[in-house]
Amino acid sequence: MVGQFEHKAEAYIALGSNIGDREELLLEAIQLIDSDPDIRALRVSGIYETDPVGYTDQPAFLNMVIAITTSLKPLKLLHTLLDFEGRLGRIRHERWGPRTIDLDLLLYDNVRMDQEELTLPHPRMMERSFVLVPLHDVLMNSHPLHEGIATTAAAALQGGKEGIALWKTINWRNASEPFES
């Protein structure tokens, strides 16, 4: 049943962009995600400008995280996100290279899985300030990882040494209304 939320899972998706109109691409990605009948955006982090990691000879990124509820199983959600990346012009040339949009599934309820196509929780998220800082904005206080993420996010923002700074906040009143920036 398309659009019926018989089982709702809460998941967290990291968004990043460093090619083209970065902010517009993030906003388009949120609208694509929220317009899917099996996904609802719940909470949206601030937008953070971040230095590239890994391959550093590229423009700065805008990164954020959204909390969603979904009736899709983890692999189906991953495939949906990959489809959205393609619709927004994502072409995979090199690992950690420049991109119009990157949508990474970070957490899906308390699911732990390690498959070739998908590992949950995301295997490198605890090493990446550009993920943890915006994730802290939207992660429920009751989540088992909240305390560790809060500590790491606070440390990352001190003194700007992690190459991350709040760039803009988004007013997302609720998932049924359009958002303003």
Q: Which of 34, 38, 102, 137 is catalytic?
A: 102
Q: Is 102 a catalytic residue?
A: yes
Cα separation, 67 vs 120, in Å, equals: 15
**Active-site residue, selected from the candidate residues 34, 99, 128, 137:** 99
**Active-site residue (options: 22, 40, 90, 128):** 90
Please give the DSSP secondary-structure letter assigned to residue 159: G
87 tagged catalytic: no
Asked about 104 being catalytic, the answer comes back as yes
**What are residue 109's phi and psi, to 5 degrees?**
45, -135
CA dist 22 and 27 (Å) reads: 9
Please list, residue by residue across 39-74, b when 16 or more beta carbons sit within 10 angstroms of its beta carbon and e when fewer do.
Answer: bbbbbbbbbbbbebbeeeebeebbbbbbbbebbbeb
Candidate list 104, 109, 112, 124, residue with the active-site label: 104
Helix (H, G, I), strand (E, B) or coil at 45: coil
Catalytic annotation present for 90: yes
The catalytic residue positions are: 90, 99, 102, 104
